[in-house]
Structure 1
Amino acid sequence: GSIFPLISYFFFPVPVALPISLVLTFIALVIVGVIKGKLASMNLLRSVVEIVVIGVVSAGGGYVLGTVVPHLLGY
């Protein structure tokens, strides 16, 4: 599953790859949300929103930790 954010970096320079990576990741999260919703017989919109929110929060948390922790450790 982690290949989706990385695909664009194999083909484009970082400034171009970043927005492509964000779009590919969003699409992957939506697909996972739809599959989860169908398998769990849930409302598809609710399932998609749930998965996208979890993905955004976890990415944000990873970014914050990756930014703050090195500063706290003196790197």
Structure 2
Amino acid sequence: MDRKGRHRDSLIMGALLMFFSYLGAGLIPISPFLIFPPDVARVISIIIALIGLFVIGYFKGKVVGHKAMRSAVEMLIIGGLATAIGLIVGTFLKV
């Protein structure tokens, strides 16, 4: 922002970057459903998501200067718990 509170960067470019980032990252765990039967795809998708969480956590730790392995395990546990809660709620609601 400049001194008058106006954005100096392109808001449209930022929005498009976020959109395509989420779209690309979201397609990775969804892609097994295009190839495998639903039961197999579900397991593969969960594994891919957990590996992705670990990798993101590792690099986050490297970038911010923390212990990379600890950051990776922390991200894996928190993301894994969120995934498990989502699966339990989805099973309970039959969706």
TM-score category, normalised to shorter length: 0.7 to 0.9
The percent of aligned pairs where both chains have the same amino acid is: 31
Aligned residues: 70
Larger Rg belongs to: 2
Equivalent AA in structure 1 for residue 86 of structure 2: G
Which structure 1 segments of 5+ residues have no match? none
1:12 corresponds to 2:31: no
Higher relative contact order (CA 8 A, sep 6+): 1
TM-score (norm 1): 0.75
1:47 corresponds to 2:66: no
Aligned alpha-carbon RMSD (Å): 1.9
Which structure 2 segments of 5+ residues have no match? 1-24
Quick check: which one's helix share is greater?
1
State how far apart, in whole Å, the 2-side matches of 1:22 and 1:67 are: 15
4+ residue segments displaced more than 4 Å: none
Task: Check conservation: 1:29, 1:48, Cα contact below 8 A.
Answer: yes
